[in-house]
C-alpha cells in the first residue's frame, strides 16, 4: 500500500512541477513571474539567446520532421535577450528604470501542430496572444552580408504561404510598399559561426 501511495505522489508531483517533456509542461498561464532562463533550460525548452538557438535544436528538428509528416506535436520555446553592453550607454542611462525593466527579457511561447495548422501562443502584459499559420518553412543559406558575424543560417519560419522565400520575407520587412509585407513569425534560428 505504501508503495502505491509513493508512486501516485511521484506522478502527481511531476505533473504539478511542469518538468519534463512538452506534454507535461506547466501551462503558460501558470508560469511564475520569476521564471528564468536557467529554469527554461532545465525544463527542456528549445532555448534561444540573443536570436540564436543554444539548446534543443535536435528536439526542434524532430518537431519539424513530425509536423512535415502531418503528425501532431508540441514544443515550448524560450527566447532570452540579454542587456546590451552597458559601456555603450551614458552612466545615467544605465541607472534608468526603463532600461533595467526592459533588459534582460525572457519570452516563453508554446508552438503546436494539430495535424492541419500551427498555433503559437504566448502572454504579453497578461494578455494571451494566439496566432495560427498553415506552414512551417525551413530556410538555409549563407550569411546575407559579408560583414555578418555568422557564416550561414538555418531558419524555421511560420507563414501562410508555402512558396514564399526567405528573401521575400526579408524584403517585406524593409520595403515601404504596403503590399510587400508578408505575415510570418520566425520560431527557430541556428547561426553557424566558423
Taking only the tens place, the pLDDT of each residue in 28-82 is: 999 998 999 999 999 999 999 988 999 999 999 999 999 999 999 999 999 998 8
The residue length of the chain stands at: 194
- Cβ 67 vs Cβ 57: under 8 Å: no
pTM: 0.78
Q: Which residue has the cell 508512486?
A: 7
Q: Which three cell numbers stand for residue 175?
A: 520595403
DSSP 177: -
- Grid coordinates of 53: 538557438
Is residue 153 within 8 Å of 141, Cβ to Cβ? yes
Q: Strand, coil or helix: what is 19?
A: coil
Task: Return the half-sphere exposure (C-beta side, CA atoms, 13 A cut-off) of residue 162.
Answer: 4
Low-confidence ranges of the chain (pLDDT < 50): 1-22, 85-101
Amino acid at each position: 500500500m505504501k508503495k502505491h501511495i509513493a508512486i501516485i505522489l511521484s506522478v502527481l508531483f511531476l505533473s504539478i512541477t511542469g518538468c519534463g517533456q512538452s506534454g507535461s509542461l506547466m501551462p503558460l498561464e501558470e508560469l511564475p513571474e520569476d521564471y528564468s532562463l536557467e529554469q527554461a533550460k532545465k525544463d527542456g525548452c528549445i532555448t534561444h539567446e540573443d536570436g540564436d538557438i543554444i539548446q534543443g535544436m535536435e528536439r526542434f528538428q524532430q518537431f519539424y520532421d513530425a509536423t512535415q509528416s502531418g503528425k501532431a506535436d508540441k514544443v515550448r520555446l524560450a527566447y532570452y535577450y540579454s542587456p546590451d553592453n552597458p559601456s555603450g550607454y551614458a552612466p545615467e542611462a544605465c541607472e534608468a528604470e526603463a532600461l533595467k525593466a526592459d533588459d534582460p527579457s525572457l519570452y516563453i511561447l508554446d508552438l503546436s501542430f494539430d495535424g492541419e495548422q500551427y498555433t503559437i501562443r504566448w502572454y504579453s502584459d497578461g494578455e494571451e496572444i494566439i496566432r495560427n499559420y498553415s506552414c512551417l518553412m525551413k530556410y538555409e543559406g549563407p550569411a546575407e552580408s559579408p560583414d555578418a558575424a555568422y557564416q550561414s543560417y538555418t531558419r524555421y519560419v511560420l507563414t501562410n504561404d508555402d512558396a514564399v522565400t526567405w528573401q521575400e520575407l526579408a524584403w517585406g520587412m524593409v520595403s515601404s510598399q504596403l503590399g510587400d509585407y508578408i505575415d510570418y513569425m520566425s520560431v527557430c534560428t541556428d547561426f553557424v559561426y566558423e
